[in-house]
Amino acid sequence: MAADGSHGVTTCACKGIRTCLICERLKEEVQLVSCEPKNVYHFLYNPETRLASSEDGDAASFVFPGVFLWNNFISEEEENELISSMDQDAWNPSQSGRRKQDFGPKVNFKKRKVRLCNFSGLPAGSQELVARMQREPSLAGFQPVEQCNLDYHPERGSAIEPHLDDSWLWGERLVTVNMLSDTTLTMSLCPGASAAGLDGEVRVAVRLPRRCLLVLHGEARHTWKHAIHREDIHRRRVCSTYRELSAEFLPGGRQAELGARLLGIAAGFKGTSV
Ligand SMILES: O=C(O)CCC(=O)C(=O)O
C-alpha cells in the first residue's frame, strides 16, 4: 500500500453524470464544460460575525444561519493517529474521485429501509472525539449512528456535488471533521429559492481549516445544498462525517426500537467498516 493509503486505484466508481480524473482520462471523448450558470453571486462566510459577505463587493451581506465551526478540534497528533488507523483499512472507490469507508447500517433511502447487516459500531478511535463533541452546548446529546470517512485527492479530481443530506433517517446535526488539508465547502440554494434579494444563484464559501470541526444544522442543513468542488482540493484531504438519528428513530418515534438498537451498536465503538 502507498503512503497515502492508496491501493494503486486505476478504476473508479463514477456513474451517470458523475466523473473524476480517472474516468475522464479513460474516456477521451468526455468534453468537460463549465456548469456555472450566468448569474452566480459569490459570498464568503465569516464564522465570527456569521455573515456572508459579497466577494465582489456588489451585494449586501446577509446573516447565514446554521454553520458552527470549531477550529483545532483535533491536535496534529490525533490527526496522525486517525489517518494512520484509517489507512490500515481498505478505502473503497466511490463516485466523483472519492474513496470511502462506512461505519453504519445499510440504508436504502428510496425504499426507506434500514438493515443492520454487518454494522459493528463506530470505530474505536472516534470514542474520545464524540465525547468531546458532546461537551459543546450546540452538540449536547449528539449520538452518531453513522460515520463516513471520505478521502479526496487532486490527482483523482475528487469532489462532491451539491446535495442535501437525507432527513428521513438522519437528524438535525451533520458533523464533519476536516483532516490533512484546508478546503472550502460551497453552499448553494436549491433552484427557485433566492437569497439576499438577488436574481441568480447565490453561493456561499465556508472555509474549512485543517483539523476543524464543522456542524451544519437549520437552514444550512435543510435549505442550502453543500458541495466540495474539485478546485478546492489542493492536497490529499480526509474527512469524517458523523450523523445522528431523526425523531422517527428516537424514543416516541415510529421506529424507536430500531433506533435504540442502532444507538447501542454505534456506542460500543468496536466498529470495522462495512
Ligand atoms: O467532504 C465533506 O466535507 C462533505 C461530505 C458530504 O457532504 C457527505 O458525505 O454527504
Give the DSSP per-residue string, 69-83: EETT-S-HHHHHHHH
CB atoms within 10 A of CB 219: 16
In degrees, to the nearest 5, what angle opens at C-alpha 45 toward C-alphas 220 and 198?
A: 75
CA of 180 to the centre of ligand 1 (A): 15
CA of 160 to the centre of ligand 1 (A): 7
Q: Which atom of ligand 1 is nearest to the CA of 178?
A: 3
Q: Say how far apart CA 17 and CA 22 lie, in whole Å.
A: 14
Q: Say how far apart CA 62 and CA 274 lie, in whole Å.
A: 42
Which of 96, 176, 215, 243 to mutate to test ligand 1, by most ligand atoms within 8 A of the CB atom? Answer: 176
Range of the domain at 214: 21-266
What is the side-by-side order of every strand in the sheet holding 224-228? Answer: 62-63, 51-54, 40-46, 201-208, 183-189, 224-228, 160-163
Q: Tell me the HSE value of 256 on the side-chain side, using a 13 A CA sphere.
A: 6
For ligand 1, atom 10, name the residue with the nearest CA: 165
Question: In this predicted structure, what is the pLDDT of residue 29?
Answer: 52
Residue 57 lies in a domain: yes
CATH of the domain at 262: 2.60.120.590
Residue 47 lies in a domain: yes
Residue 5 lies in a domain: no
Residue 6 lies in a domain: no
Q: Which atom of ligand 1 is nearest to the CA of 208?
A: 3
Residue 15 lies in a domain: no
| Burial of 157 from C-beta contacts in 10 A (0-12 / 13-18 / 19+) | buried
Tally of structural domains, the chain = 1
Residue 9 lies in a domain: no
Q: Which amino acid is at 144?
A: P
The model's pTM is 0.91
Residue that has been written with the C-alpha cell 468496536 in this structure: 270
Question: In this predicted structure, what is the pLDDT of residue 165?
Answer: 98
**Residue-level pLDDT, tens digit, the chain, 274 residues:** 444 444 456 678 898 889 999 888 777 655 555 555 568 899 999 999 999 999 988 789 999 999 999 999 999 999 999 999 999 999 999 999 999 999 999 999 999 999 999 999 999 999 999 999 999 999 999 999 999 999 999 999 999 999 999 999 999 999 999 999 999 999 998 666 777 778 788 999 999 999 999 999 999 999 999 999 999 999 999 999 999 999 999 999 999 999 999 999 999 999 999 9
Question: In this predicted structure, what is the pLDDT of residue 26?
Answer: 74
8 Å CB contact between 24 and 30: yes
Which of 146, 150, 184, 242 to mutate to test ligand 1, by most ligand atoms within 8 A of the CB atom? Answer: 150
CB atoms within 10 A of CB 221: 21
Residue 165 lies in a domain: yes
Instruction: Tell me which residues have their CB closer than 6 angstroms to ligand 1.
Output: 148, 150, 160, 165, 176, 185, 226, 228, 239, 241
CA of 227 to the centre of ligand 1 (A): 7
CA of 97 to the centre of ligand 1 (A): 13
Q: Find, among 191, 187, 195, the residue nearest to 229 by Cα.
A: 187
| Contacts for 133-142: CB closer than 8 Å, 24+ residues apart | 133/175, 133/213, 133/242, 136/68, 136/70, 138/68, 138/173, 138/215, 138/217, 139/173, 139/175, 139/215, 142/173, 142/175, 142/242, 142/244
CA of 153 to the centre of ligand 1 (A): 14
CA of 101 to the centre of ligand 1 (A): 13
Residue 246 lies in a domain: yes
